[in-house]
Amino acid sequence: MTQRPRISLARAFVFLLALGFAGGAAAQASTYPSRPIKIIVPYPPGGQGDTISRIVGKKMSEILGQQVLIDNRPGAGGTLGVDLAAKAPPDGYTLALGDPGPLAVAPGLYPKLPYDPMRDLRPVSNVALLTATLAVNANVPAQTVRELIELAKAKKGSLTYGAGHGTIANLAMELFKSMTGVDMMHVPYKGFAPQLTALVAGEINVAVGDYSVIAPQAKAGKVRVLATTGAKRSAVAPQYPTVAEAGVEGYSVDFWQGLLVPAATPTDIVDKLHSAIVNALNAPDVRQLFAERGYTAIGDTPEHFAATIKGEIEKYARVIKTANIKLQ
Each residue's pLDDT tens digit, 93-109: 999 999 999 999 999 99
Rounded CA-CA distance 4/297 in Å is 59
Does residue 249 form part of some domain?
A: no
Does residue 135 form part of some domain?
A: no
Does residue 56 form part of some domain?
A: yes
Rounded CA-CA distance 193/320 in Å is 24
Which of 46, 38, 113, 120 has the alpha carbon at shortest distance from 79?
A: 113
Q: Which of the four pLDDT bands, split at 50, 70 and 90, describes residue 14?
A: very low
Does residue 75 form part of some domain?
A: yes
Residue 207: is its pLDDT beyond 80?
Answer: yes
Helix (H, G, I), strand (E, B) or coil at 132: strand
Share of residues in the chain with pLDDT > 90 (%): 85
75's torsion region: left (phi>0), alpha (psi -120 to 50) or beta?
A: left
The single-letter code of the amino acid at 225 is V
Helix (H, G, I), strand (E, B) or coil at 41: strand
The CATH number for 300's domain is: 3.40.190.150
Q: Sign of the CA dihedral 65, 66, 67, 73?
A: negative
pLDDT score recorded for residue 190: 85
Rounded CA-CA distance 200/283 in Å is 37
Q: What are the pLDDT digits (tens) for 142-193?
A: 999 999 999 999 999 899 999 999 999 999 999 999 999 999 999 999 888 8
Rounded CA-CA distance 118/122 in Å is 7
Which of 124, 125, 118 has the alpha carbon at shortest distance from 102?
A: 118
Share of residues in the chain with pLDDT > 70 (%): 91
Q: Which of the four pLDDT bands, split at 50, 70 and 90, describes residue 24?
A: low
Residue 80: is its pLDDT beyond 50?
Answer: yes
pLDDT score recorded for residue 12: 52
Which of 168, 167, 150 has the alpha carbon at shortest distance from 159?
A: 150
- Strands (DSSP E) contained in the chain are 37-41, 68-72, 94-98, 121-130, 132-137, 160-163, 185-188, 206-210, 223-228, 255-262, 295-297
Does residue 308 form part of some domain?
A: yes
Q: What total number of domains does the chain contain? A: 1
Q: What is the mean pLDDT of residues 280-286?
A: 98
Does residue 298 form part of some domain?
A: yes
Q: Which of the four pLDDT bands, split at 50, 70 and 90, describes residue 20?
A: low
Calculate ∠ Cα 48-51-57, nearest 5°.
135
The side-by-side arrangement of strands in the sheet containing 160-163 is 185-188, 160-163, 206-210, 132-137, 223-228
Does residue 281 form part of some domain?
A: yes
Contact between 122 and 261 (Cβ < 8 Å): yes
pLDDT score recorded for residue 2: 43
Does residue 158 form part of some domain?
A: no
Q: How is 95-131 classified by DSSP, letter by letter?
A: EEEE-HIIIIIHHHH-TT-SS-HHHHEEEEEEEEEE-
The single-letter code of the amino acid at 253 is V
> Domain residues for 286?
35-128+257-314
Contact between 28 and 16 (Cβ < 8 Å): no
Q: Which of the four pLDDT bands, split at 50, 70 and 90, describes residue 230?
A: very high
